[in-house]
Structure formats: structure tokens, C-alpha cells
Amino acid sequence: MNALASSRRIGRADLTAVPSVLDDLEAILRHGDTLYDWAAGQPQPRAMRGRAPVYVATLPASAIAVVVRHAWHGGLLAPLTADRFRRPTRAPVEMAHSAALRAAGIPTTEVLGFARYAAALGLCRVDVVSRYVDDAADLGMVMAGLTPFVDAETALTATQRLLVQLATQGVVHPDLNVKNILLRPAPHGIEALIIDVDVVQWQPTHARADTMRRNVDRLTRSVRKWRRHFGGDITDARIDAFAAQATAALRDAPSAPLPNS
């Protein structure tokens, strides 16, 4: 977890957050709202990606723009487990991974905090708060031609750089897909960010080529699946070339494994 984060108990909720947003989030919880309900109720909240709507809102005191996401289970048991989790949930892991990745120079969103709410049978529900990344779109949106600020070729080049960074640090994302890569304008051009990082694995002792292969295989499967469902101009030949170029770029990259966190 972020070393600067603090935890507070507010009624039936417990809050963990970095100092810049801690008082704002506590005030929202003391008002009686969950963080997610508060964000959903803001004027013209912006719904984003996720299993359920994900909202963008501006914190009242700090004026920091944040994304608030309510956690839901996926998979076959989702209808039974829904949004109830065993403590400590994945939220502390996601916050710790976010901080570790950014410290290693890997672009990702900044997890600012989370709140857990007591539920039946000792379980809990959880909201996660991240810093909003302005003018960003995921790779799936780019492939569908919905992002005027970046084209697919530029996005793939930026994604290739991200894959090299992951491989040199020994980071495997077992759920790497077109929705888990964000593209945004940056001073040096278009930058790719990795998100949904609670599941990432640090394997610095593994061969870098193996790390690259695992990430590339997962992502290219997602690209092909996305193309089947939503269309796009990326051919199989271009996908294969993307994978080969990422692997070739890794050979020239300096080694800098990330210590286990």
C-alpha cells in the first residue's frame, strides 16, 4: 500500500487514503453517502468503463478530479457473490501495486484511496478512488475509431513501449486486454498506461522474453476478440507484426527488474 496513506474509521465504513484526498473522502462518508453513491449523484457524472458504471467527480475541498469505482465479482460465482468480498479485499493490493508500478516508471493510474463497508456474514463492500486521467481512451475505443486524438498505429506503438517496460521490470498482467490499456496525450507524444493492476504479478527472475510473450499473447487474443465483436481495420498481419516488433524492441532494452512488492 502507499506508504503515505492513512486509515480512519467512519461509522460502519473504514477509509484508507493518501493525505491529499483523505479529509474530502472522510467528509463524504460522514455525510452518510458511500463514495460511489456520492460520485453517482454529482451534477452530470460521467459514466465510464467497468462491470458497472464508473463515475468521474471533483472532490469538494481539494478540487481533485477522481474516478470512483464500486467493486464487483466476475466469473461464474458473480451472481452469488455480487459485490461482497472477504476482507481485506483486493483494494489494498491495487493501491500498493499502483504505487510500486509508478515508482518503477511504469505508467498507470494513481489509486488515491478506498472505502470498505461492513456487510452480512463478516463480508464487506468496497469503493476504490483513483486520480482521473484527462483526455484518455482505452485501446478498444482507439481500435473502433472513436478517439480523434490518436490513431490505431500510434496507439499500437505506444502500447509496444508499455509492453517493453513491463517485460524489463518482470511484470505480468494476466488480464491484459484492450480495456486495460489507456492512451493519453503526453509531452513526448501518446503514452500508454496499464490499469486494473490488482492482478499484476512481479516475476523478476523469469526470462524477460517469457514475460513479454505472456503479456503479448494475452493482449493479442483480446485484440482479435475485440475486432470480431466490434470491427476495426487491424489485420491479422498487423497484429502479428505488432507482437514481433514488441519482442524485437525488448532485445535492445536495458534490464531493470522491479523488486517484489
Q: Report residue 231's pLDDT band, with 50, 70 and 90 as the boundaries.
A: confident
45: pLDDT strictly greater than 50: yes
Burial of 216 (0-12, 13-18, 19+ CB in 10 A): buried
Share of the chain above pLDDT 70, in %: 92
pLDDT tens-place string over residues 107-127: 999 999 999 999 999 999 999
pLDDT tens-place string over residues 79-109: 777 899 999 999 999 999 999 999 999 999 9
Question: Among 142-151, 168-177, 191-200, 249-258, where is mean pLDDT lowest?
Answer: 249-258
Domain boundaries, the chain: 6-131, 137-251
In the three-class reduction of DSSP (H, G, I as helix; E, B as strand; rest coil), residue 193 is classed as strand
Q: What is the layout of strands, in order, in the sheet containing 137-138? A: 137-138, 181-186, 189-194
Q: Are strands 65-70 and 181-186 parallel, antiparallel or unpaired?
A: unpaired
Measured between alpha carbons, how far is 207 from 214 in angstroms, rounded to an integer? 11
Q: How many CB atoms lie within 10 A of CB 173?
A: 22
| Among the listed residues 86, 128, 106, 117, the one whose alpha carbon sits nearest the alpha carbon of residue 1 | 128
Which CATH number is 137-251 given? 1.10.510.10
Higher pLDDT, 92 or 77: 92
